[in-house]
Structure 1
Amino acid sequence: MADRPLRVCLVSPVPPPYGGIGHWTQMVLRHSEKHGDLEMSVINTAPRWRAVHDLAKWKRVTGGGLQLLRDVARFISLMIRRKPDVVHLTTSGQLAVVRDIWILRIARLFKVPAVYHIRFGRVPEIAGEGTWEWRMMRRAMAMAHTVIPLDSATEDAIRKYAPKVRVLRIPNCIDPSELPAPREPTGEGTAMYLGWVIPTKGVGELVEAWTRLKPKGWRLMVAGPGDAAYKEELLKTHRPERLEFTGELGHEEAMKLLAGADLFVLPSYTEGFPNVILEAMVLGRPIVATTVGAIPEMISDGCGILISPKNVEELTDALSRALSDGALRAGLGVCARARALEEFSIEAVFARYKALWKSCSAKSN
């Protein structure tokens, strides 16, 4: 292997549809092109059989089962044709853990070490409750060389409930060169949400809080894909003023809108280490977000306003503070940008991935 590049297989989604993990995959692939000693391949696990906001269980089981067979077949084919030196598997949990177990078993059969990258923030809850999902995850983690959590709470839960697992916490990353320059606020104020327009992202609470406030001189932009019936239900239930649903946007267009927003809001029920928070930080946008996943570690200490998930009162109060205080917004944005550039740049984080891949491969050989 000394006379050829290190072969790394990413088992991870690639857009479309657009999502945080998919964007991470694209970013890692682009940055790897700067490293001549790496040869990357991808098994694309993006769901093609349903809309991401369609959570009907029967569709997830039947469609997911068919996709599992497809992904596993492609993975086996890659193992036979061009066996990698290390596998890097990302997971969003739930039923995807079944696929993860198959991928990790096959990697072990071919004697290829695997990195298991946990990309969601519910691990402390499911581990504490001992759910079926956690029991399946323990089986998956036991087959991995190293497990990567994104936040300290997930790391602590794994160490407590699966103490034999090798854990290495690595934060998410951002490539500032991909983003437009931050823009100064002009004219009407814009508060922005960017993500899937689904209940678990806290969109309902956001629309309710906005309706309560009715802030003068401000509009709320809700950007991202979602079910038309759900949007109609929100409008009919709350009758908000100055609210715009943009629908799904390309990443470049979404970043231009975010760069011009005066406030970014992410009231999710659960997150891992959300890319959109990193993007808002690099763009110097003040942030209101929930205390889930790695978000408290990202925007604490003056880099954002933290609220409890599913709490309309706290969200309303936080929005009121941020919308009424320009100096507060400016200070939050400056702090957030400085932290993102210092701690979460793609160069720093990718170097840690690369070191881990090399250590896995060296141990295997």
Structure 2
Amino acid sequence: MYLENTPKLGITVSLVNTSLIGQRSESAGYTYSLFDELKRAFSIWINLLKILIQWKKTNIVHFNSNCSPKGLVRDYLSVLLIKLFSIPIVFHCHCNVPDQLSESRVGFYFLKNIIKLVDRVIVLNSRSRNFISANFQVAPDIVPNFINLDLVDLKRKRVVRKLKKLTFTGHIRRSKGILEILKVAKDFPELTFYLIGPMTENLEAEEPIGSNVKLLGSMDHEQVLDFLRKSDLFVFPSHTEGFSVSMLEAMASGLPVVATDVGANADMIESKGGIIIPTNDVFALKKAIERMKDVNLRKKMSIFNITKVKNNYTSEIVLNKYLNIYKLLV
């Protein structure tokens, strides 16, 4: 979406690499070998070098990283290469930084040295900003993910009195809190839990799937958005996130949210657009769903979420944040 929208700002972008790498690709069900990773690294460096030599009008390098420990080694070498050309570097951490680095000395070391070299650091959420500020004495800019304004349901249908349809979108796996959903669904036979997304782990051996849980598999984007608009509540008990676009789309659809206290979740709904619960806590999830049976509460949350997305997370607003950062460096 960044590439699709940058022409509106009068910016020309050259893309160096789009590969899924490191821990993020593993969590999405992909695997990679050391040989594959080295091939990707050399491909990145060669393409980057070609662009820096041939395209002499490069003003800024915007460097996206998932901050996996292995990936940060490659990122550090890439940043050193860019520095040879004296071009300002914006280093963008597309993850929840504490989750990636809290137990990795290697990752911590290389991110520390990357931050010393770059001109600006961007993160997705306040947790990442606080972690970097405390450990590296740098104040990063928070720039969230975004969606286009036409996806925001400004005319949200009337919130129905009776809670019926609860929806989750994302990978069907443990790290997304699916086991917690399967367990809590047993306590609400009157509700239907719709899980949209590819199943990348077999969870049925650990927790039987009840008759009120519907595994819908992958859908195209328009189908997902249409389903969200017809739902009553978005349930998102993920164990780790950076800034969830799935949750953002649910908010844009006017859905109240029950989400875990990870990544940007609390930044997004501020306790006014949903209920924040601890991770791996089936009782807290059950209690939150019970509270959401209050139609007046859901109405207030629905209005808040639509307004929050409209005023903070649309492409025009977020891309202008990027532009303001770029202007400081050129």
The letter for the 1-side match of 2:114 is: A
Q: What corresponds to 2:13 in structure 1?
A: 40
Q: 1:60 to 1:102 in 2, by over 3 A?
A: same
Partner deviation per Cα, 1:145-173 (whole Å, 9 max, x = no partner): 1111222222122111111x452223333
Q: Does 1:123 align with 2:98?
A: yes
- Are the equivalent residues in 1 in contact too, given 2:152–2:309 (CA < 8 A)? no
Q: After superposition, where does 1:296-311 map in structure 2 within 5 Å?
A: 296-311=266-281
Question: Residue in 2 aligned with 1:206?
Answer: 181
1:107-155 C-alpha deviation (Å, 9 max, x unpaired):
112222111111222427835x563222222122222111112222221
TM-score (norm 1): 0.80
Stretch moving more, 46-55 or 91-100: 46-55
Shift of 1:344: 2.4
Quote the residue 2:165 is aligned against.
Answer: 190
1:345 deviates by 2.6
Consecutive unaligned residues of structure 2, counting only runs of 5 or more, are: none
Distance 1:193 1:41, change over 3 A: same
Give the C-alpha shift of residue 96 in structure 1.
2.4
Distance 1:251 1:99, change over 3 A: farther
Q: Are 2:322 and 1:353 aligned?
A: yes
- Partner deviation per Cα, 1:304-333 (whole Å, 9 max, x = no partner): 1100011111112212222x3222222211
SS at match of 1:355: helix
Partner residue in 2 for 1:320: 290
Q: Check 1:264–1:139 CA distance in 2 against 1; reply closer, same or farther (3 A cut).
A: same
| 1:156 is the counterpart of 2:135 | no
Partner of residue 233 from structure 2, selected from 244, 263, 277 = 263
Write the distance in 2 (CA, Å) between the matches of 1:75 and 1:248: 34
Deviation at 1:179, TM superposition (A): 5.0
Inter-CA distance 149–266: structure 2 relative to 1 (3 Å threshold): same
TM-score for both structures, normalised by structure 2: 0.88
Secondary structure of 1:43's aligned partner = coil
How many Å separate the matches in 2 of 1:312 and 1:55? Answer: 29
Residue aligning to 2:41: 68
Distance in structure 2 (CA, Å) of the matches to 1:255 and 1:118: 27
Q: What corresponds to 1:86 in structure 2?
A: 60
Correspondence 1:102-117 to 2 at 5 A = 102-117=77-92
Query: What are structure 1's unaligned runs of at least 5 residues?
Result: 1-25
Q: How far apart, CA to CA, are the structure 1 residues paired with 2:324 and 2:300?
A: 36
Bigger mean CA deviation after superposition, 344-353 or 183-192 = 183-192
1:286 is the counterpart of 2:222: no
- Distance across 1 between alignment mates of 2:115 and 2:21: 26
Deviates more, 1:237-246 or 1:174-183: 174-183
Matched-pair contact (CA < 8 Å) for 2:124–2:143: yes
State how 1:238-257 maps to structure 2 within 5 Å. 238-257=208-227
1:240 Cα deviation from its structure 2 partner: 1.5
Instruction: Indicate the RMSD between aligned Cα atoms, in angstroms.
Output: 2.6
The amino acid across from 1:73 in the alignment is: I
Contact 1:189/1:219 (<8 A) preserved: yes
Does the Cα contact within 8 Å between 1:124 and 1:153 map onto a contact in 2? Answer: no
SS, match of residue 39 in structure 1: coil
Q: Do the aligned residues in 2 keep the contact of 1:179 with 1:255 (CA within 8 Å)?
A: no
Secondary structure, counterpart of 1:284 in structure 2: coil
Q: Is 1:335 paired with 2:283?
A: no
Partners of 2:199 and 2:122 lie apart in 1 by: 30
